[in-house]
Structure 1
Amino acid sequence: MSGGLSATARMALLARLSKRRGGEAPRPEAGSARDFATLPGMRDFALLGTALDSLGLESPLFQQHDGRAGAHSRIRGREVVNFASYDYLGLNGDPRVQAAAKAAIDRYGVSPSGARITAGERALHRELEAALAEWHGAEAALTFVSGHATNVTTIGHIMGPRDVVVHDAAIHNSCTEGIRLSGARRIPFAHNDLAAAERELAGARRGAQRALLLVEGHYSMDGDSPDLARCVAIARRHDAWLMVDEAHSLGVLGRGGRGVAEAQGVDPAGVDLWMGTLSKTLAAGGGYIAARADVIDWLRHTAPGSVYSVALAPPLAAAALEALRILRAEPERVARLAANGTGLRDRLKARGFNTGGSLGAAIVPVILGSSVRTARVAAALLERGVTSQVVVFPAVPEQSARLRFFVSAEHTPEDLDRAAEALSEAVAGAGRVESLPAGLVG
């Protein structure tokens, strides 16, 4: 099968999809406003699952890990080398981080039981925020219950219908959702094309009240970074704020793991809003914004994700704070991560794999093409004891489906060798290129 499914095969898939519904609860009449099948993408989602079934492929998503998913893990009782985790420095299993979380539970309980503005806060919250602000060279910081919620509530709150947001096309979903919530005009530019970013910002700025230039410090899909100094200059020339999402940069870029500003020797004061997560390097959960003190105080008292949301759980705040202390004291972890990231990227490139623009830091994509082929390779890779993240349509265009390898400071050279060898074998055994039905991706 090549270039898509035949009309006969497509009809068979649709028939199978219809049969699967036979034993389910009665559904509203087709076309009814109560029919969930009218939701955007619902039919294509179901068809994708049926296509995988017809090809004898299990979904590569939602793999169940039996314990801590560090550089090594167990999936359904089987030992694997794990490249699907954001535990970049291996701190999720560090006894000091775990002890800090347990001590916080003993003192404060598991939950803060309300929003900080009304139910009160814990000393941990302010201590963590002060440490995060210092880390980014900012005056203050504010934590939220998730990284996704951080971007949604912050962007949705600071921007409005008379404003414009110019952003990299590869920006995270949380950012685009925040822009959508704000009602601001949204203008994407081609990934890392800062000349295009400036053209778009210059053209849109004249008719907007406020403008925001939005980029990531380390792009999770491609493993590359923007030219931060140039971003600062563009934002200043056009009287715009600059926001940098450092979710995958903290603990990864720069000799000390302070992110893209340290890595590129740029004064962090040139960035108006630093965003980051606690769920990756810092081995907890949640997100934060670091900025000027007056901005943070305003967000603390007015942002919906702060005022109307429960506060960060005490054990998570304590774990993140301890992880940040370890990161500051043990920069050698960052050096090991950098060596492993470069080592895996170079091993894969030497075998002819397309790793895109990866810096070889913590994220190494392998672009394979079709979603079906990528799913086949992922399954074959897992059979060989190696797991990675799978990105298929519609998260990326159909011919840009890929595996993403997230590297840890805990990986060994033998792990990197095994991953490269296993991927070569998996791709060789995947057969011809197969595509999803043309009508599904067209």
Structure 2
Amino acid sequence: MPLKSRITQALNLRQAQGLYRQRKILTRQASSVRWTDCTQPSVNFSSNDYLGLAQDPALIAAWQQGLSKYGAGSGASPLVTGHHTPHQALETRLAEWLGFERALLFSTGFSANQAVLFALLEKGDFLIQDKLNHASLMEAGMLSPANMRRFAHNDVIALHKMLTANTNEASARLVVTEGVFSMDGDQAPLADISALCQASQSWFMVDDAHGCGILGDEGRGSCQQAGIQPDILIVTFGKAFGMQGAAVLCSQEVAEYLIQFARHYIYSTAMPPAQAHALCTACDLVQAGDWRREKLLALGAILEETLLPEVGLVSTATPIKPVLMGSSERALTLSASLAEKGFWVSAIRPPTVPVNQARLRITLTARHDEDQVREFATQLNASFEEVQDAANPSEQPG
């Protein structure tokens, strides 16, 4: 099929399936957002800025200070002339805070995940992943030369069977899970998985993009909360840190190996040093942010107690609170109804989530207040009942 025809056909199919995605243009972002096509702001319940740091004056000032001191860009990849003093300071701070020998910075969590899997795994190795791992991990696994297996979500028994079935001592084995799953808000049984990895002499890697900053002492994340240390930890800065970028936490030897062989690291321009400078301030704010984490728990309790049971909110210990709707159409309808009432919650549809598991992905931030959460829950109750009534119209009298 000609390329143009293939593109047209794919776009038409995506539209017909109700899965077509479109960007909205923001003119303002905080606890409320304003879109170019709307006259009124909406209270934002779809942000990953969990601690509310993206608009924090101290963080903004730190980035401005970094720009004044270090300029706008890094100038090159880390191995050429792109590794600056703020990069080294941030790596050292992250390693000490999270309890690892080394940290390596990446521009995105996507590239960090792919760099690790592509660099470490070879033909004949086994990569064993939780079925609901992030797309960056799944894609890297499919494209890597390793044999990839997926175990049922958070199913330790299934993982144990896979590990005992693959006992070739000549092959390396790497088990990968997320600490907090981005679409469900639930947590991996990290202590149990870590024990299985130790018993089977498998390496263990955790992507804690949605856990670091939120869970554990001083926000150290899912692994610290679970009392374990994986061989490799991925943290990202686009969620609780309020910025952008990522880091790989690992041993001295693994860090040096990645510097030599990870193509995403070697051939990518380093993040701006001003950004690394600001991220050092973000680390300070995260560590001192117990009040923010406590507020998130309090707001979560208010949301759960105000929503009607039939809404079906999934209870979690994280700021991610899904409402499972099943069909994409129902999720879109509910999202649109809330938008009309001044609340923005994105409808998440396949292929981001499995078929028939479309949902509203509600996220709480420390910039929300109690009244906003109560009003949102009240309006969600009303909108949910409207959607239910539309889906199940009562029989009209004759």
Q: Fold conserved (TM > 0.5)?
A: yes
Which is further off, 251-260 or 232-241?
Answer: 251-260
Task: Classify the secondary structure of the residue corresponding to 1:170.
Answer: coil
1:300 to 1:373, Cα distance in 2 relative to 1, 3 A: same
How far is the alpha carbon of 1:131 from its aligned partner? 1.3
Output aligned runs, 1:259-270, within 5 Å.
259-264=221-226, 266-268=227-229
Counterparts of 1:148-159 in structure 2, within 5 Å, are: 148-159=110-121
Q: Match of 1:169?
A: 131
Give, in whole Å, the separation in 1 of the partners of 2:237 and 2:91.
11
3-state DSSP of counterpart to 2:209: coil
User: Judging changes above 3 Å, is the alpha-carbon distance between structure 1 residues 112 and 371 closer, same or farther for their aligned structure 2 residues?
Assistant: same
C-alpha distance in structure 2 between counterparts of 1:59 and 1:184, whole Å:
33
Q: Tell me whether 207-216 or 108-117 shows the greater mean CA deviation.
A: 207-216
Specify whether residues 168 and 346 from structure 1 end up closer, same or farther in structure 2 by C-alpha distance, changes over 3 A only: farther
Name the amino acid aligned to 1:63: K
Identity across aligned pairs (percent)? 30
- Letter of the structure 1 residue corresponding to residue 84 of structure 2: R
Aligned position for 1:48: 14
**Pair 1:414-2:371 in alignment:** yes
Alignment partner, residue 38 of structure 1: 6
In structure 1, distance between residues paired with 2:23 and 2:375: 23
The one-letter amino acid of 2:337's match is A
Q: Distance in 2 between matches of 1:372 and 1:324?
A: 40
Structure 1 runs of 4+ aligned residues shifted over 3 Å read 36-39, 42-45, 58-61, 345-348, 431-434
Paired position in structure 1 for 2:122? 160
Please tell me whether residue 98 in structure 1 is matched to residue 60 in structure 2.
Answer: yes
Alpha-carbon offset, residue 60 of structure 1:
6.8
- AA matched with 1:352: E
In the alignment, is residue 283 of structure 1 matched against residue 242 of structure 2? yes
Specify which of 334, 341, 345 is matched with residue 384 of structure 1: 341
Q: Tell me which of 312, 315, 323 is aligned to 1:354.
A: 312
Q: Cα distance, 1:172 vs. partner? A: 0.2
CA contact (8 A) 1:167 1:215 kept: yes
User: Whole-Å Cα distance in 2 between the matches of residues 233 and 37 of structure 1?
Assistant: 51
Distance in structure 1 (CA, Å) of the matches to 2:17 and 2:82: 51
TM-score by length of 2: 0.92
Specify whether residues 94 and 198 from structure 1 end up closer, same or farther in structure 2 by C-alpha distance, changes over 3 A only. Answer: same
1:4-403 equivalences in 2 (<5 Å): 31-32=1-2, 35-38=3-6, 43-50=9-16, 52=18, 61-68=22-29, 70-76=30-36, 77-206=39-168, 209-264=171-226, 266-268=227-229, 271-348=230-307, 350-356=308-314, 358-403=315-360
* Distance across 2 between alignment mates of 1:109 and 1:329: 28
Separation (CA, whole Å) in 2 of partners of 1:208 and 1:62: 47
- SS across alignment from 1:141: strand
Residues 281-309 of structure 1: per-residue CA shift (max 9 Å, x gap): 11221111001111112212321111111
SS of 1:352's equivalent?
helix
State the shift of 1:398 in Å.
3.0
Corresponding position of 2:381: 424
> Structure 1 66/205 Cα, relative in aligned 2: closer, same or farther at 3 Å?
farther
- Asked if the contact 2:44/2:343 (under 8 Å) is kept, the reply is yes
Give, as a single letter, the amino acid of the residue that structure 2 aligns with 1:48.
R
Tell whether the 8 Å contact from 2:126 to 2:172 is kept in structure 1 after alignment.
yes
Query: 1:233 is paired with a residue of what secondary structure?
Result: helix
- Give the CA deviation at 1:38: 3.2
Letter matched to residue 101 of structure 2: E
> Contact 2:213/2:287 (CA < 8 Å) preserved in 1?
no
Contact 1:152/1:181 (CA < 8 Å) preserved in 2?
no
Q: Distance in 1 between matches of 2:224 and 2:198?
A: 20
Shift in Å at residue 109 of structure 1? Answer: 1.3
Shift, 1:115, TM fit: 0.3
Q: Structure 2 unaligned segments of length 5 or more: list them.
A: 393-398
Q: Output one character per residue of 1:187-209: Cα deviation in whole Å (capped at 9) or x when no partner.
A: 11111111111111221343761
Structure 2 counterpart of 1:28: none
Separation in structure 2 between the aligned mates of residue 215 and residue 87 of structure 1, nearest angstrom: 22
Aligned-residue offset at 1:415 = 1.4
CA distance in 2, matches of 1:274, 1:289: 6
> What is the CA RMSD across the aligned residues, in angstroms?
2.0
Instruction: Write the letter of the residue equivalent to 1:107.
Output: K
Secondary structure of the corresponding residue to residue 416 of structure 1: helix
Distance in 1 (alpha carbons) for counterparts of 2:312 and 2:42 = 24
Partner Cα separation in structure 1 for residue 305 and residue 272 of structure 2: 40
Deviations 1:16-74 (A, max 9, x none): xxxxxxxxxxxxxxx23xx24436xx73542332465xxxxx96742322122x32222
C-alpha contact 1:246 1:275 (8 A) present in aligned 2: yes
The structural deviation recorded for 1:325 is 0.8
Secondary structure of the structure 2 residue equivalent to 1:398: coil
